[in-house]
Amino acid sequence: MINCLLHLLQNETYSQTLLFQRTLFDHMLAQKAAKKSPEPLHLIMVEHPPVFTFGKNANRQHLLINDDEMSNLQASVHTIERGGDITYHGPGQLVVYPIFDLEALGMGIKDFVHCIERAILSTLVDFGIQASIIPKTIGVWIDIGGPKERKIAAIGIKCSRFVSMHGLALNVNTDLEMFNHIVPCGIPDKGVTSMEIELGCKIDMLEVKTAIGKHFASIFGLTIINHDK
């Protein structure tokens, strides 16, 4: 088992969280360059204030509002290093950032993404939600092939020398109206959903954090250690 520090962030801005991610990521790369053990790994969990993020190859036209409308929403915009197009993060959405050394875990990038998807799917099953994945499309979906195919979780990562940053966003009690201001993940013909919508009630965020942490530990072979930032 590999030790992994769990960071439950509170009240940080998106910029502060991004800086924290990069600090851990850069330190892990430096450890590898010095041929030192990269342990421990890190798992960050956070709810962001409203923010729209562009991946490095995103289409800027997929943001459908202007600066004034952005200001009225009290939202910010960031262009970051992950893959993928545009997405939204905000209150009621659980964002999880694994800062992992994939070589220490004995896996490649495709296996890493697949394991993240498994952790999300297992968490949803814990709450009575059946979801699945679409081949060649990253993320977790409900009613695949049906008339109301909809996305409940997005994944966007960056890897350098097999060290990861960025991660997943699971819609728990998210305000889905915010997705009307973008073309989510650059896919115009599919909807989004949340655990709250699927179950018809508010979901306890701490229970979701506990569940997904448990599945990350099981799937990746980790010993999770709670750690204050």
3-state secondary structure of 21: helix
- With beta carbons less than 8 A apart as the criterion, state whether 65 and 139 touch: no
CA dist 116 and 133 (Å) reads: 11
Catalytically annotated residues: 185
**Where are the extended beta strands (E) located within 50-149?**
51-54, 76-79, 86-89, 93-99, 132-134, 137-142
CB-CB neighbours of 67 under 10 Å:
8
Q: Residue type at 35?
A: K
Which residues, 6+ apart, have CB-to-CB distance to 135 below 8 Å?
A: none
CA dist 213 and 45 (Å) reads: 9
Q: Residue type at 209?
A: K
Which stretch of DSSP H or E encloses residue 195? Answer: helix 195-199
**C-alpha of 128 from chain center:** 21
3-state secondary structure of 69: helix
